Chains A and B, each alone.
Chain A
Amino acid sequence: MSAPLHGPAMAGLRAEPRDTLPLDQLPARQWAIVHDVPMPHAGLGRAVAIRLMELGFVPGERVCIVRQGPGQGGPLAVRVGHTTFALRRHEAAYIQVMPARA
């Protein structure tokens, strides 16, 4: 891994909201900490947000885009915990992250 590992994972819980950005805008190979997965009130969005949390995208968890899919707007391969998931950009946008400082 190119990015060094930083501090306890739970540190992200006390982050300043102004530093956050949606996961799809995080530069590739930069580690970040999940800040929040805002919950839409109903519908498919809610189901997807719940599923993302169940897969490990909970506040405080370290994430990293390990690979961008080919082409403009291609999918993202996101590392969370010990698993890599393929997410489309609009799915990744549910997840608010705070980049880890280098």
Chain B
Amino acid sequence: MTEAITAILPERIALLGNPNCGKTALFNLLTGSRQKVANYAGVTVERKEGTLHTAEGRHVTVLDLPGAYSLNALSGDEAVTREVITGQRDTLPELLVCVADATNLRLHLRLVLEARALGLPMVVVLNKMDRVKKLGLTIDRAALERELGVPVVGAVSVQAHGARELQAFLDRPLAPHRPPTWKNATAETVRATQYEAHRIFKLAVQEPAVDADPSAKIDRAIMHPVWGFVILAIVLFATFMAVFSLGDVLNGYIEDAFGWLAGLVETHMADGLLRGLLVEGIIGGIGGVIVFLPQILILFLFILALEDSGYLPRAAFLLDQPMSKAGLSGRSFIPLLSSFACAIPGIMATRTISDPRDRLATILIAPLMACSARIPVYTLIIAALFPGEPLAAALTMVGLYALGVVCAMAVAWVMKRGHRSRSTLLMELPSYQWPDLRSLAIGLWERAMIFLRRVGTIILALTIVMWALYTIPSPRAQTGASELENSLAGEIGHALQHVFAPIGFNAHISIALVPGMAAREVVVSALGTAYAMEGDEDQVGAQLEARIATGWSTATKLSLLIWMVFAPQCLSTFIIVRRETNSWKQMWLMGGYLFALAYLASLITYHMASWLTA
């Protein structure tokens, strides 16, 4: 080696690590809010990039690679990770930061060795160093550096200054390197690497005589064949209780704020077209949707915290056998649970299911989980159906959620009939840990921004269009008819009646379903606009419930509720299904079966209810 090495400081680094090594928490600690989330070209793997400041204040770009047990990829995520660090995709990082859980080096050292073999400049980060002492482990870092032949730094990704050592390391010049080389593993090389990892582990790590990790004790209750299910039921019940009770309180504040805003505009503006647009269109429409932000965030808070703590894989373990009855595996549990917040992240989470048929079945039933966008519609109609009867309202809500789940399982069973493949589970049950608050906050912030961006763009635009359709008179306007009947919206609603009248939907509902295709929540704001236009102009939002309570028959309300359980709605879901399955056929299959199911179920509900209430 020559001495004349020009000092090159790293400017693009990539974080590599096993799942559950605390890599994402470290990424969040390093980059804070300076993150950009996108997709890798051509695949549906999330690409997370951010900027960090080194100890000397230089800016360095960090790429957070998808977690991988190995470069011998089993999943699409792992394949992307390998492609990036072998230079087949994206820009090759100048420094590979290999993150390992210091409390589980026995498993994580193997990936370090595999990465080292590539030949890129590398640093190993021993994460979760705070837990090392707690568990009674001793790690000889000098021995690790010597045996691995790469620098090793410690980190605590859940503490404010937990990445100091790494930040200081990034101001050191890089060693020269050769282009990375990678070869497919054989049984022999895998075994040899594993034994080498064990050799180094034994040299560098001293374990206590007694395992101090409480996970095994906790699992005795959590994974108990009876108590485990009781705990799971309590956890899910608490989650949805929080969504509805706590969410309801917070929604009230937002509703009040929008009501106050509408009042303010009305008192300070002269009556006219612009005031109508502001009050009925924008404030009424947007307000009707934004009130549900707290509920969405509370649900995501629970899902993120449960996932981070290590509970969700246990729940998947418990549910593996019941779900196998429907032809699925426990792996489908987490994607389906996420679908209660929104089908899109849920469908994206199916990538962790390695069996293609299982994955397809999970994707196609994900829209049957009652997503948060359905909450506004359910809440509105149930409130109108059972005014002043909170128990009946709550039971109906539970029933709607359960109906979706039961039908999803039935659909999965039908789809997998005759294709009873042996699905794989092969899933780590990581040690329990307290959720990292910073990562929770960043996760929630991302969800809130996605929702608000939707509100600010698609939903705002649709709200204005809907208002315009209700305001602009139809060219075939007739004297004697109401303003609404003469509007363009009235015309469209009238045409749609041919399809929807048999299931009890009036013109307002029919037309509200059209923008509902772009975003389900808009059904509420579209109805809000329609009824606000129809008469009492000063009444928006809260009054909608009262109008529906008296204006619609019980059969119509029930029919619309059932419709919302099944109907294929929200174009984003269609788009994500097309992208994830890479098939138009599967997308239309999903749309078709859901539409048929929705129409049939609503038809039966409407006629049964009409007959019973007649």
Contacts and interface: CB of A to CB of B under 8 A. Distances in A.
A69 to B, nearest CB: 6
B190 interface: yes
A48 to B, nearest CB: 7
B425 A86 contact: yes
B433 to A, nearest CB: 14
A37 B191 CA distance: 10
Given A47-B74, A75-B320, A88-B320, A53 B191 contact: yes
A17 interface: no
A58 B74 contact: no
A64 to B, nearest CB: 11
A42 B321 CA distance: 28
- Which residue, A39, A69, A72, A81, has most C-beta atoms of chain B within 10 A? A69
B409 to A, nearest CB: 16
Interface string A50-86: 1111111011000000110111111101000111111
B322 interface: yes
A85 B426 contact: yes
B106 A74 contact: no
A1 interface: yes
B190 A87 contact: no
A51 B313 CA distance: 19
A10 to B, nearest CB: 9
A54 B69 contact: yes
Interface centre among A48, A49, A59, A70 (most CB of B within 10 A): A70
A6 interface: no
Interface residues of B, number: 42
Interface residues of A, number: 36
B72 interface: yes
Contacts of B70: 50-51, 54
Given A75-B425, A77-B429, A56 B106 contact: yes
A39 B377 CA distance: 54
A63 B362 CA distance: 32
Nearest to A58: B194
B194 A86 contact: no
Contacts of A72: 321
Nearest to B110: A54
Interface stretch (B92-100, B120-128, B222-230, B511-519): B222-230
B219 A69 contact: no
Contacts of A51: 69-70, 72, 74, 426
Given A53-B190, A55-B107, A56-B107, A88 B317 contact: no
Contacts of A66: 216, 219
Nearest to B423: A88
A39 B194 contact: no
Given A50-B72, A81-B107, A56 B321 contact: no
B329 interface: yes
Nearest to A72: B321
A91 B223 CA distance: 20
Given A51-B69, A69-B320, A82 B103 contact: yes
Contacts of B228: 70
Nearest to A67: B223
B143 interface: no
A36 to B, nearest CB: 10
Interface string B255-297: 0000000000000000000000000000000000000000000
Contact of B422 (A50, A81, A84, A88): A88
Interface in B184-242: 185, 187, 190-191, 194-195, 211, 213, 215-216, 219, 223, 225, 228-229
Contacts of B107: 55-56, 81-83
Contacts of A53: 187, 190-191, 194
Interface of B: 69-70, 72, 74, 103-104, 106-107, 110, 185, 187, 190-191, 194-195, 211, 213, 215-216, 219, 223, 225, 228-229, 313, 316-318, 320-322, 329-330, 422-430
Given A1-B211, A70-B318, 19 more contacts: A51-B69, A51-B70, A51-B74, A51-B426, A53-B190, A66-B216, A67-B223, A69-B321, A72-B321, A74-B320, A74-B321, A75-B425, A77-B317, A82-B103, A83-B107, A83-B430, A85-B427, A86-B429, A88-B426
Which 5 A-B residue pairings sit nearest by Cβ, starting from the closest? A71-B321, A81-B106, A70-B225, A74-B321, A84-B429
